[in-house]
């Protein structure tokens, strides 16, 4: 979420992250650390022209089930195209959420828990 937009406050972003995590705790790790992608199929040839071709790699996240297809050039070895297929509820509508947002939310929780422990110890 872009809270450098003056209309969107940090508190608002944190409340949106909180709501998202409560609705979809299964996506929290991927949102903070990225997907745990692993190949699901052997690599295979996509488009071919003469001796050149594209190599396709199908991957799936072990954590959330997001699927990804990467397409590489046999000539340059560069990634040409990447496409994702997300599980229901993973994507947000009308906003984005960065890893920084998720880290910030976790930091807020950590600080609140630590403050509660210190307060209990002081009592
Ligand atoms: Zn994932």
The domains of the chain are located at: 1-24+92-123, 34-88
Q: What is the value of pTM for the model shown? A: 0.80
Percent of the chain, pLDDT > 90?
A: 87
Q: What sign does the dihedral 89-83-13-28 (CA atoms) show?
A: positive
Q: Give the Å distance between the CA of 30 and the centre of ligand 1.
A: 4
- Ligand 1 centre to CA of 66 (Å) is 5
Q: What pLDDT is stored for residue 6 in this prediction?
A: 60
Q: Using the mean position of ligand 1's atoms as its centre, give its distance from the Cα of residue 101 in Å.
A: 17
Using the structure block, give the residue that is written with the tokens 């872009």.
2
Residue 96 has a pLDDT of 85
Q: What is the pLDDT of residue 5?
A: 57
The predicted pLDDT at position 3 comes to 54
Q: How far is the CA of 121 from the centre of ligand 1 (A)?
A: 38
Q: Three-state DSSP class for 122?
A: helix
What six digits make up the tokens of 47?
A: 């488009």
3, 10 Cβ separation under 8 angstroms: yes
Query: Which residue ranges in the chain fall short of pLDDT 70?
Result: 1-7
Q: Collapsing DSSP states into helix, strand and coil, what is residue 23? A: helix
Q: Which of 84, 85, 58, 55 is nearest to 71 (CA)?
A: 55
Q: What 3-state class would DSSP assign to 5?
A: coil
110 CA from centroid of ligand 1 (Å): 23
> What confidence score (pLDDT) does residue 78 get?
98
Give helix 10-23 / helix 99-122 axis angle, nearest 10°.
90
Measure 78 CA to ligand 1 centroid, in angstroms.
Answer: 23
Measured in Å, residue 83 CA sits from the centre of ligand 1 at 14
């Amino acid at each position: 979420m872009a809270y450098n937009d003056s209309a969107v406050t940090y508190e608002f972003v944190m409340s949106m992250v909180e709501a998202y995590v409560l609705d979809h705790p299964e996506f929290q790790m991927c949102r903070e650390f990225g997907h745990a992608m692993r190949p699901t199929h052997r690599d295979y040839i996509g488009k071919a022209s003469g001796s050149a071709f594209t190599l396709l790699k199908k991957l799936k996240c072990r954590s959330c089930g997001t699927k990804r297809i990467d397409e590489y050039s046999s000539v340059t070895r560069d990634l040409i195209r990447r496409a994702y297929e997300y599980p229901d509820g993973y994507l947000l509508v009308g906003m984005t959420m960065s890893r920084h947002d998720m880290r910030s939310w976790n930091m807020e929780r950590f600080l609140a828990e630590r403050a509660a422990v210190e307060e209990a110890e002081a009592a």
